[in-house]
């Protein structure tokens, strides 16, 4: 089936599911390390402050990979790009597996992030193949796959790390990349690039898009601050669980990750809400959930029920916010979807990397209350940005 036929009829359901699975399995590479940070810190005698560099550099690598690689999706055939990236990702994961020092950890963490940008090629492709009236729902479904990958990454990583050691996690992740290579080769459709422009010109055009599109700027800042707050929480959760307050470990961190299923359920719902009502309304609801989650964590985080409720609200708000903000961005310029997605996701994961750094720093200096204060600070910026957005619309 040709691309034009797919666009006219809307994307086929089985293809949406395939794309969701691809996104979930690949994005998991970014999050395997979070429940293992305590274990890595002890095994290699690295302080909790320094071991946080593993998460930070992974997200920085992901942001840089998106900046330099994803714009190529507008001028190159995506299937071939994805196949090459899967092989590169497998090699990076193996390099991390054989890490023996902090510098090795940091360098290979960066490469894991840099090569794990497949989801950001798949997402614009799914949007491109969907009809306008189903775009939010399709995006929500594909992002649900992404969220499942994030959740299962932490859960599987926590359990495998506890029973088989952290290296087993990365051996398995490397094997999954080879399996995905086969799946993509056999089932993923080819596409016709949207432009024949040069790489230099499309990179220069990123700045022009940021200047021209106020919606892109607003959504990028909102997404960055929400994901920054999200990363503040998840980077430090393992340290909080291992503290005398809970005396838990990586298995518990993995189980807590499953509670984020609320975000997976919410993603398609918020996508439909964006289709039927407005993306601005959906973003506002998402920010409200995230702020409420951190308020609960600040006041009741030392009690298990408060930690669970705050986690659910935070995950619900963050994942819903990503769907709503990306729906806004992908509605702007069809011929520039990969570049629009690049700007949004680079900002998004820059916020995440900043959140990982600030979260670890806040934990070391001020403990759990400092972590929650840091998360609420990120979300305050998101609230102010949203108020300005609504005023501009009105």
- CA-to-CA distance for 339 and 356, rounded, in angstroms? 25
- Among left, alpha and beta (phi > 0; psi -120 to 50; other), residue 78 is alpha
The structural domain count of the chain equals 1
Please state, rounded to an integer, the average pLDDT across all residues of the chain: 86
Query: By percentage, how much of the chain surpasses pLDDT 70?
Result: 91
Position 139 confidence tier, pLDDT thresholds 50, 70, 90:
confident
State the pLDDT confidence band at 102, using cuts at 50, 70 and 90: confident
Q: How confident is the model at residue 23 (pLDDT cuts 50, 70, 90)?
A: very high
- The tens digit of pLDDT for each residue in 268-316 reads 676 666 666 678 888 998 999 999 999 999 999 999 999 999 998 998 8
Q: What is the residue range of 143's domain?
A: 3-393
- Is the per-residue pLDDT at 29 higher than 90? yes
Banded model confidence at residue 7, pLDDT cuts 50, 70, 90:
very low
Give exposure, 369-391, as e/b (b: 16+ Cβ within 10 Å). ebbbebbbbbbebbbebbeebee
pLDDT given for residue 5 in this prediction: 44
Give the model confidence (pLDDT) of 77-94 as tens digits: 989 999 999 999 999 999
pLDDT for 131: 74
Pairwise CA distance, residues 207 & 283, whole Å: 25
- Of 259, 285, 257, the C-alpha closest to 382 is 285
Structural contact between residues 97 and 151, judged by C-beta atoms closer than 8 angstroms: no
Of 40-54, 122-136, 323-337, 343-357, highest mean pLDDT = 343-357
pTM above 0.85, yes or no: no
Residues 159-213 pLDDT 10s: 888 888 889 999 999 999 999 999 989 988 887 786 788 899 989 999 999 999 9
**Residue 367 pLDDT > 90, yes or no?**
yes
Question: Once rounded to an integer, what is the mean pLDDT over residues 53-64?
Answer: 84
Supply the pLDDT for residue 1: 41
What is the CATH classification number for the domain harbouring 49?
A: 1.20.1250.20
């Amino acid at each position: 089936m040709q691309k034009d036929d797919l666009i006219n009829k809307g994307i086929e359901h089985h293809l949406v599911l395939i794309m969701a699975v691809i996104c979930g399995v690949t994005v998991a590479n970014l999050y395997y390390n979070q429940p293992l940070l305590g274990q890595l810190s002890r095994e290699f005698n690295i302080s909790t402050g320094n071991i946080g560099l593993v998460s930070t550099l992974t997200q920085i690598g992901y942001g840089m990979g998106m900046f330099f690689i994803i714009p190529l999706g507008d001028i190159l055939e995506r299937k071939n790009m994805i196949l090459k990236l899967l092989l590169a990702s497998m090699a990076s994961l193996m390099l991390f597996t054989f890490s023996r020092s902090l510098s090795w950890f940091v360098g290979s963490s960066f490469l894991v992030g840099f090569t794990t940008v497949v989801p950001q090629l798949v997402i614009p492709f799914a949007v491109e193949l969907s009809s306008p009236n189903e775009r939010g729902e399709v995006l929500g479904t594909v992002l649900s796959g992404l969220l499942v990958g994030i959740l299962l990454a932490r859960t599987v990583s926590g359990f495998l790390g506890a029973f088989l050691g952290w290296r087993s996690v990365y051996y398995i992740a490397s094997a999954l990349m080879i399996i995905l290579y086969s799946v993509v080769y056999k089932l993923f459709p080819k596409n016709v690039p949207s432009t024949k422009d040069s790489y230099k010109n499309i990179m220069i055009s990123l700045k022009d898009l940021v200047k021209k599109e106020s919606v892109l700027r607003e959504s990028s800042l909102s997404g960055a601050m929400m994901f920054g707050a999200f990363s503040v929480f998840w980077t430090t959760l393992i340290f909080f669980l291992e503290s005398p307050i809970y005396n838990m470990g990586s298995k518990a961190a993995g189980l807590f990750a499953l509670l984020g299923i609320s975000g997976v359920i919410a993603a398609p719902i918020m996508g439909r809400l964006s289709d039927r009502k407005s993306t601005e309304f959906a973003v506002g609801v998402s920010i409200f959930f995230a702020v409420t989650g951190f308020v609960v964590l600040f006041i009741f985080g030392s009690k298990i029920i408060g930690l669970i409720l705050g986690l659910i609200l935070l995950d619900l708000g963050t994942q819903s916010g990503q769907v709503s903000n990306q729906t806004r961005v992908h509605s702007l310029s069809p011929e520039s979807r990969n570049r629009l997605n690049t700007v949004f996701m680079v900002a998004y994961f820059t916020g995440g990397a900043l959140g990982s750094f600030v979260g670890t720093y806040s934990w070391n200096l001020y403990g759990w209350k400092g972590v929650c204060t840091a998360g609420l600070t990120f979300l305050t910026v998101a609230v102010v940005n949203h108020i300005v957005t609504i005023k501009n619309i009105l």
